[in-house]
């Protein structure tokens, strides 16, 4: 397997392996790479929906997403799509998948199925590098803090998506979610300290109102993005990206008006997070 960095502190392109039939030691190497770099990109993969599901189960299990439409014939696959006549996309802001669950999904496996002629890139940011770059004062301020995460304001009736042309295509409007996680977690496998708040789902610090939390939360969200810790993927047919939802944030670019984009996503089961 050959690794090429996508940016100084985030993401790696991996060549020389077929995800559909990698052996156990290759799978271990892939896992370790993703835990460390946040996201790994694999080009020219022959990866059917059956392969996608088999890979997710082999990794350690699949958490089915509660909101996105599911692939008709393969219900463990969430369909992340935007039609040519829609203006809103899914995931078009910095976030990490499923942080609103008390046991959040470990990661996600996204496969390109139908791409616009240009645009529709995805960006990732590395939350280990983000934590390291915080000032000592800010690190001291967030030591021991916990934060509340929910998806209700995004997906509920009257929520963010409901006000857009994506609203009617989503499921789960009646669901209630809520989870508390440390603001700084230790990666369960690498032990690295990671900043674990995100603009999509983190609402407030425990013991503080949303208003009281906003100044520090905004400071952290702003500080988390640096040029060095972000990478950007230009998709092509056959591209698969696998990312770690603890190590990284991601953001889907919405710059392909008039064209269709369809991706298939499986979210990989995770574990409870600790400081």
Q: Site residues (CB under 6 A) for ligand SIN?
A: 80, 90-91, 97, 108, 110, 122, 250, 252, 263, 265
Specify the residue, 253 or 275, whose C-beta has the smaller distance to ligand SIN: 253
Angle at 97 between CA 175 and CA 89, to 5 degrees: 85
Residue with tokens 């669901």: 175
CB of 250 to ligand SIN, least distance (A): 6
Contacts 24+ apart (CB under 8 A), 185-192: 185/246, 185/273, 185/274, 185/275, 186/274, 186/275, 187/35, 187/128, 187/244, 187/246, 187/247, 188/246, 188/270, 188/271, 188/273, 188/274, 189/31, 189/32, 189/35, 190/35, 190/36, 192/128, 192/247
How many CB atoms lie under 10 A from the CB of residue 48? 12
Specify the residue, 154 or 220, whose C-beta has the smaller distance to ligand SIN: 154
Specify the residue, 197 or 263, whose C-beta has the smaller distance to ligand SIN: 263
CB of 108 to ligand SIN, least distance (A): 6
Specify the residue, 53 or 252, whose C-beta has the smaller distance to ligand SIN: 252
CB-closest chain residue to ligand SIN: 91
Specify the residue, 19 or 240, whose C-beta has the smaller distance to ligand SIN: 240
* Coil vs helix vs strand at 68: coil
Q: What φ, ψ does residue 85 adopt, rounded to 5°?
A: -95, 5
CB of 81 to ligand SIN, least distance (A): 9
CB of 256 to ligand SIN, least distance (A): 11
CB of 263 to ligand SIN, least distance (A): 5
């Amino acid at each position: 397997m050959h690794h090429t960095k996508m940016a100084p502190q985030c993401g790696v392109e991996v060549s020389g392996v077929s995800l559909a039939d990698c052996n156990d030691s290759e799978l271990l190497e892939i896992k370790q790479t993703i835990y460390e770099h946040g996201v790994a990109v694999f080009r020219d993969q022959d990866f059917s929906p059956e392969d996608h599901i088999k890979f997710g189960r082999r990794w350690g299990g699949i958490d089915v997403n509660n909101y996105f439409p599911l692939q008709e014939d393969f219900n463990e696959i969430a369909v992340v799509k935007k039609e040519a006549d829609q203006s809103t996309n899914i995931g078009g802001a910095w976030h990490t998948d499923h942080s609103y669950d008390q046991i959040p999904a470990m990661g996600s496996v996204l496969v390109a199925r139908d791409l616009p002629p240009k645009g529709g890139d995805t960006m990732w940011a590395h939350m280990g590098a983000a934590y390291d770059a915080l000032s000592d004062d800010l690190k001291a301020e967030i030591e021991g803090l916990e934060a509340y995460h929910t998806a209700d304001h995004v997906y509920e009736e009257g929520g963010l998506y409901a006000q857009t042309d994506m609203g009617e295509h989503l499921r789960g409007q009646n669901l209630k979610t809520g989870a508390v996680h440390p603001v700084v977690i230790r990666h369960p496998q690498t032990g690295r300290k990671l900043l674990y708040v995100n603009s999509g789902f983190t609402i407030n610090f425990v013991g503080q109102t949303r208003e009281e939390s906003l100044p520090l939360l905004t400071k952290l969200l702003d500080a988390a993005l640096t040029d060095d810790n972000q990478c950007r993927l230009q998709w092509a047919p056959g591209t698969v990206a696998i990312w770690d939802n603890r190590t990284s944030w991601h953001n889907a670019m919405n710059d392909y008006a008039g064209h269709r984009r369809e991706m298939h996503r499986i979210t990989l089961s995770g574990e409870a997070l600790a400081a």
